[in-house]
């Protein structure tokens, strides 16, 4: 078994045939919901940062010989983006367990931005390299987090 494949497919979630990105995002929501009470904002950002750095190495190694770099089985970028989209829950619902419905709203917002790809996400997505594979989802996660922040605050 290839360690890089294990990472980029998020433990083979990316190998499902239908909607692997959405399934990886949903799995991220489930994991976040189960473990959110053990995280504070700092530890969550530290975890996302570590996964992101590891992902740059893994995606780069996994796609070295591939013409198309952003393949559907690579879903670790969705895990990162969805995690960023969930960050406002730790900020605005501190000291409480996040509500699952709000986690699902975060999922909807992230998938919207990840699929529709408004500017500048669409420009980053067109890059055929490791940076483009990961950073378009980071931006989609940031957009979703900003929208979720607006919803939670107002």
The whole-number pLDDT of residue 112 equals 99
Assign 90 to helix, strand or coil: helix
Count CB neighbours of 29 within 10 A.
21
d(CA 56, CA 71): 15
pTM above 0.85, yes or no: yes
* pLDDT, greater one: 57 or 99: 57
Q: Locate tokens 């979703």: which residue?
A: 144
Q: What is the mean pLDDT of residues 135-139?
A: 98
Q: What percent of the chain is predicted at pLDDT more than 70?
A: 94
The whole-number pLDDT of residue 128 equals 87
Q: How far is CA 61 from CA 5, 21, 75, 77, 88, in A?
A: 9, 20, 15, 15, 32
* pLDDT, greater one: 42 or 65: 42
Q: What average pLDDT is seen over the chain?
A: 93
Local confidence band at 154 (pLDDT 50, 70, 90 cut-offs): confident
Q: Is 124 a residue whose pLDDT tops 80? A: yes
Cis, peptide link before residue 17, omega less than 30° from 0: no
The whole-number pLDDT of residue 67 equals 63
The whole-number pLDDT of residue 50 equals 98
Q: Is 56 a residue whose pLDDT tops 90? A: yes
């Amino acid at each position: 078994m290839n360690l890089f494949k294990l990472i980029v497919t998020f433990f083979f979630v990316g190998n499902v045939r239908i909607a692997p990105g959405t399934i990886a995002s949903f799995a991220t929501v489930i994991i976040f919901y189960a473990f959110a009470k053990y995280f504070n904002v700092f530890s969550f950002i530290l975890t996302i940062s570590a996964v992101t750095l590891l992902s740059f190495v893994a995606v780069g190694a996994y796609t070295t010989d591939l013409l198309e770099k952003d393949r559907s089985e690579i879903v670790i970028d969705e895990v990162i983006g969805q995690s960023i989209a969930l960050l406002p829950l730790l900020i605005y619902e501190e000291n409480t367990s996040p509500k699952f419905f709000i986690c699902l709203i975060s999922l909807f917002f992230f998938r919207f931005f990840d699929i529709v790809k408004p500017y500048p996400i669409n420009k980053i997505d067109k890059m055929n390299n490791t940076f483009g594979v990961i950073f378009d989802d980071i931006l989609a996660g940031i957009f979703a987090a900003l929208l979720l922040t607006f919803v939670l605050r107002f």
